[in-house]
Chain A
């Protein structure tokens, strides 16, 4: 038996997934935005917006999310080296879509030491910089539930998404030159399961559900943190990118930068906006006008060499060739 494809997506990562075969609900019919004018659904399936909530205050940095991500996505990370830190690998890679980042922080206010551990990965922005920057039609899509996904078969490997992303997330494969990042397990979510990382997280530091539910849960967690003396605890759901479908609960929401450079106020860089905006418009206009203008002018006018010019040239050459001739006068 197949469950209705209309089944809306949010299922918490904790809930057991349906056991019967399920037809995914996140196909083309749910695409609301597509890079470089790629195809979008005319009347997209209205899925409920989802979110992954990462509660940094519950995270123990065990990297279960990393290994679940590797397992589910069947990537093959290389066995690197230890360079004197807990991050392994040292950065996101095309084979590691998520990464625990560890920051050692001496809190100047409390005088206490804190070890801030943050799971880094795609934030699934409502206004995705990667999608804006991408030149390949349909290589990056956004679904009606908010998930931003890379469609590798349409990816041309230019790396523009890396530059477009305010969070420095996408990574290109060294062999296939395709861009990769967290998909929010769109393939799992499409059939009613939560992301692999949330499923694997032992402490519920990663939870998944509707964005509304996650926002409410986050608010509850913020209350708890405030009761423990974290006066600046808060939710990270930055406005600059229209909000995100991956949110953090931070003990120090006033200083996201201390969590390994989580951007204070992320937004699509002005340079990128200019590149994809005015440069394109004015550039196309200018080139078009120039081309058309020169064509018209070329048809209407010309500069011809006249017959006398040939004679004058012959004269000049002859005179020069004759040593007796007086030098040519300067005109």
Chain B
């Protein structure tokens, strides 16, 4: 989230698209009802199904799964055509005026530089024209045909309301009504918030869906302001924390990067991370990258990381591929190239696509270790459960070890919510039975592995034997110790660069925040963006002051939010070029003439002059990006791409299947279906009664939603002879499931490209262990395809067939 949950109450218009906030995030959704009640805000829902969010919306429109980019680009086109632009914002706070290289272009659904062999783009043309002064060229009039604004205008030109109707199946009158409602928010005093979740990410072009809305929000001037923003609703209480802390295979905590093989030395690694400003006077905060990186290395290896040995850079693994994401790992298992899988707090048998492949891959392992508070299907993947898990147990040689761990209510620590708030919590109960804290288990494993390396040596023992492990009880690192380690501390006295005599953090003390980190090895910090969470002021995450002066929704003294307790990212953009709030009724921060002040921690240097320094300090341009240069693998603008399994061809290029640069392994191509065999579009989702595969263990939740079902329209039911509550068989190219049929008016057939498209909705909460009735998850059906940028599997749009099931027992 750029903003926070509580800030949503400040909005005038909520658009829920690519998510189902009421159903999947009911507690956060309260801020929508607050906005509706107290501000008269309106709620728009665009979704293939009339969801529970739609049930409280002011306006709803259906959309075919996987066509969001068309809808979003058409909205941008509408705003441009109808002058629904916040011009001052666009001109000054976006890269609309920057000039793009002449070679850049788009044709037949593809951008320049596509290499079909490699399934990748050569992105060199996707960049600005750099002038002789080393800065990007601009045209403040926005008239240059090569400026971002004009390129965008040309790019969205094809996305007419008629195109929306043809591709998305959304009636054009519904689209236009929504466009009109959104257009009102181009006023500086009206804001829209976008709430999205996995309805946008779980596509082969998920990141581009989000880009599309972000661009629209920038054009409307809705980023950085109260009641605005791009608000990703995270699907677990701590999934924001997971990404922050770098649990992705290519990341180091705080969105630093694991080096690649092309960066064998510290120097080569740092060379591409200079982040020189692309416009004069700009902050380009990532210029501090070395400080964060060195502090991280010091946190990891302490005295073993020295300037002389390039901070132990050789300890870091070097990626030979962009990422070792889950899809790749299971592909490797399937190929027999990965034989030990340590599965901590994860249930891949139900969570990863193409369950058949997952089972096959797990069966090829030598050792599977699961670490979970609950009995998971993954831990039992080898156990025959009839049609619910029809494996031949005798043929599986994988050894499985289950390590029972504590659950969130049994341990101390913090959870990072969608709004980046780190909220400390205390244990409410003892873990039952033999369950142990995850930290204890990890410590036991580490200490034993380290002993082995110490005793037996090995190819490269250094990163293990030199790992910092300064905990009072090495067997049981505490949450407090870990939090302080992430916050960072001064290894030597840290002084003020402007006044060397002034000690900011004395040796051994915790740093105040990341502004005190240094690249000379005098500080350590486990996760720079978390720096400030537990400093010499104490545990800021445990703060519980719910006062909110002037009811801005900031709640600045409740817990702690990264970075530096900032509640709204890019909040500098809430004020105009003179530093005055765009909306005097909703001030966030403002320029006093000398410095920035307000309700939130300014997202800019406190004394940066408003007319000089751009608000988007993390970007080299100082402004936000409507055109992303080469930073995304599948294009600097979002372009329409069909799902890999789609009922219709791409209108721009009939030969193009899915996202041309998406994650797709050769072996999985044969397992993609087409619409002649699988005529219906399926999409998967959560139900509010359950949380993933956890709550099926709980009798209360299980009683509220006991049994696996699929949702279909009355029309499809009639066409296939399916009755309400009857059993159906749903199958795709990859597998089959049996479910109860929930026949509803809430899903209606759509007409796309002259063809009737039926949607089959498949909720995801059932498996073969737990209190609820046995069932299946949608992953028995979904394709092994991932997003081009972040490899998220395409769970939201795929093809299936359906028929009434006779005889098969569902439970």
Contact = CB atoms under 8 A, between A and B. Distances in A.
Q: Do A and B come from one complex?
A: yes
Contacts of B689: 62-63, 88
Contact of A228 (B58, B743, B745): B58
Contact of B33 (A77, A117, A203): A203
Contact of A84 (B29, B37, B702, B709): B709
Interface in A54-70: 57-64, 66-67, 70
Nearest to B705: A88
B538 interface: no
A112 B50 CA distance: 11
Given A60-B29, A77-B703, A82 B742 contact: yes
Interface string B733-748: 0000000111111100
A82 B709 contact: yes
A106 B23 CA distance: 22
A104 B744 contact: yes
B723 to A, nearest CB: 8
A175 interface: no
B688 to A, nearest CB: 4
A300 interface: no
A83 interface: yes
Interface string B637-675: 000000000000000000000000000000000000000
A202 B26 contact: yes
B688 A79 contact: no
B791 interface: no
Contacts of A61: 52, 55, 688
Given A79-B771, A82-B706, A113 B746 contact: yes
A264 interface: no
A147 interface: no
Contacts of A113: 50, 60, 745-746
Contact of A203 (B30, B54, B702, B742): B30
Contacts of A203: 22, 26, 29-30, 32-33, 56
Given A57-B56, A84-B741, A115-B54, A79 B33 contact: no
Given A62-B23, A63-B688, A115-B50, A79 B703 contact: yes
B713 to A, nearest CB: 11
B676 to A, nearest CB: 29
A33 B658 CA distance: 70
B707 A58 contact: no
A79 B701 CA distance: 9
Contact of B707 (A82, A117, A221): A82
- Tell me if A's interface is mostly helix, strand, loop or mixed: loop
A82 B740 contact: yes
A204 B30 contact: yes
A224 interface: yes
Nearest to A106: B745
A176 interface: no
B155 interface: no
B35 to A, nearest CB: 11
Contacts of B743: 84
Contact of B724 (A62, A71, A77, A85): A85
Contacts of B53: 60
B548 to A, nearest CB: 15
B811 interface: yes
A227 interface: yes
Contacts of A70: 700, 703
Of listed B32, B53, B707, residue having the most chain A CB within 10 A: B707
A88 B37 contact: no
Interface string B695-711: 00001111111111100
Contacts of A62: 22-23, 26, 52, 688-689
Given A79-B706, A221-B37, A67 B700 contact: yes
Interface string B1-45: 000000000000000000000110011011011101100101000
B725 interface: yes
A67 B744 CA distance: 25
A76 interface: yes
B425 interface: no
Interface string B310-344: 00000000000000000000000000000000000
B534 to A, nearest CB: 27
Contacts of A64: 26
Nearest to B54: A115
B609 interface: no
Given A76-B699, A80-B706, 18 more contacts: A60-B22, A60-B52, A60-B688, A63-B688, A63-B704, A71-B700, A81-B706, A81-B773, A83-B725, A84-B740, A84-B742, A84-B743, A85-B742, A113-B60, A202-B30, A203-B26, A203-B30, A203-B33
Top 7 A-B pairs ranked by shortest CB distance?
A84-B725, A84-B724, A60-B22, A82-B707, A115-B55, A77-B703, A83-B725
30 contacts: A58-B37, A60-B23, A61-B688, A62-B26, A62-B52, A64-B26, A66-B704, A67-B700, A79-B702, A82-B707, A82-B740, A84-B709, A84-B723, A84-B725, A84-B726, A84-B741, A84-B742, A84-B743, A85-B724, A85-B725, A88-B705, A113-B745, A114-B55, A115-B54, A116-B55, A202-B27, A202-B29, A204-B30, A204-B37, A224-B40
Interface of B: 22-23, 26-27, 29-30, 32-34, 36-37, 40, 42, 50, 52-56, 58, 60, 688-689, 699-709, 723-726, 740-746, 771-773, 811
